Amino acid sequence: MARITAGIGASHVPLIGRAIDTGDTQSDYWKPLFDGFDFTKKWIAEEKPDVIFLVYNDHATAFSLDMVPTFAIGCAEEFAPADEGFGARPVPMVEGAPDLAWHVAQSVIQQDFDLTIVNKMDVDHGLTVPLSLMYGQPKKWPVKVIPFAVNVVVYPTPSGRRCYNLGKAIRNAVESFDEDLNVQIWGTGGMSHQLQGPRAGLINQEWDKRFLDRLADKPEELADIAHVEYIRETGSEGIEMVMWLVMRGALGDNVTELHRHYHVPASNTAVGHIILESQS
C-alpha cells in the first residue's frame, strides 16, 4: 500500500532558485536562509521518498487567462522546467508518476473534488525551487513528482477549509493505491508577502510564526482563516498559504513537527519551512 509519510512546507521564491543556480547560496544575504535547509537535505536523503505530491501554484506560466483551473493534477510522464521569460532554470526534467496520479485523480474526483487533469504542462519556479531547496543540484531528480497546481492568482482562490479537506481526500486516495510507495506531500508558497501596489513589501512575522505554531496540532483553526485575513495580515500574495493546508490535511490527525525554519527576507518574501511527520 502507498502511504503519505511526511509533509514539507516551504516558500518558493524565484530568487532562491537563482541563488542556487548561480552558486550564490553562501553569501551574507543568502546563507542564513539556506542554512535552515541543511537538516532537511540530510533527512530526505535518509527518507528516500519515492514520490512527492507537490502542491504549488503556477504564476501565469503554464496557465494564462485562457484557462484557470482551480485544482489541476499533472498526470504526464514528465514535465519540463518552464521558460518564465528569461530562459528555463538549469534543472533536470521532472519525472512524473502517472499511475499514481491517475489513481489519485479518479479517487479524489469520486470524493467530490473536481480536479482538472493535465497531461501537458511546463512547471515554473513554484515547483522547481522547492525541489532545489531539498535536493540541491543533482543531474537527475532522485524522486518522481506529481505536480498539483492550485489557483491562487485569479480571485477567488479556493478557501483554506476546502484545501484542508482536499488534503484529506488525497490521503484517502494515496492509501488506496496498491503499490508499496513512500509518498511525501509538500505545500509550497508564502509566507507573508505582497508584490503589488503601494503596500508592496508587507511582512507579518508575528502572524507567520503563529501559523507555524498551529500547523501541527491546530489545523482546524488555520482552516477557518478567511481570504480577507490572509490579504490584510500577510499581504495579497500571502494567500498562497492555503496550499500548506492541502499538505496538512493529507497528513492525518496526528503529526509530529520535526524541523522548522523562518527567515526574512528572500527578495520581497518571508520564507517559512517546516517538516511534519505523519503518525496515523
Partner 1 sequence: MALDKPYKDVPGTTIFDSEMARKGYHLNQFCMSLMKAENRARFKADERAYLSEWPMSEEQRQAVLDRDYNAMLALGGNIYFLAKIFSSDGKSFQYAAALMTGMSEEDYKAMMVSGGRSPDGNRYIGEGT
- As a residue count, the chain comes to 280
CB 124 within 8 A of CB 61: yes
Q: Is 263 a catalytic residue?
A: no
Interface residues with partner 1 (CB under 8 A) are 14-15, 59-61, 64-66, 83-86, 153-156, 192, 194-205, 207, 226-228, 231-234, 236-237, 264-265, 267-268, 270
Bridge partners, 278 (sequence order): 255
- Please say which residue, 126 or 147, places its beta carbon nearer to partner 1: 126
Catalytic residue among 193, 261, 263, 273: 193
Interface residues with Fe ion (CB under 5 A) are 126, 189
Bridge partners, 187 (sequence order): 9, 55
202 binds, among partner 1, Fe ion, none (CB under 5 to 8 A by kind): partner 1
To Fe ion, the closest distance from the beta carbon of 254 in angstroms equals 29
- Please say which residue, 176 or 205, places its beta carbon nearer to partner 1: 205
Rounded Cα–Cα distance for residues 176 and 182 (Å): 13
Q: Is 125 a catalytic residue?
A: yes
To Fe ion, the closest distance from the beta carbon of 59 in angstroms equals 6
Give the contacts of 30 (CB within 8 A, at least 6 positions apart): 19, 24, 266
DSSP code of 110?
H
To Fe ion, the closest distance from the beta carbon of 132 in angstroms equals 15
Q: What is the dihedral of CA 10, 15, 21, 25, to 10 degrees?
A: -70
- Please say which residue, 82 or 255, places its beta carbon nearer to partner 1: 82
109 binds, among Fe ion, partner 1, none (CB under 5 to 8 A by kind): none
Closest C-alpha to 55, from 152, 194, 122, 180: 152
204 binds, among partner 1, Fe ion, none (CB under 5 to 8 A by kind): partner 1
Residue 226, Ramachandran bin (φ over 0: left; ψ between -120 and 50: alpha; else beta): beta
Bridge partners, 51 (sequence order): 144, 183
75 binds, among Fe ion, partner 1, none (CB under 5 to 8 A by kind): none
Active site residues: 125, 193
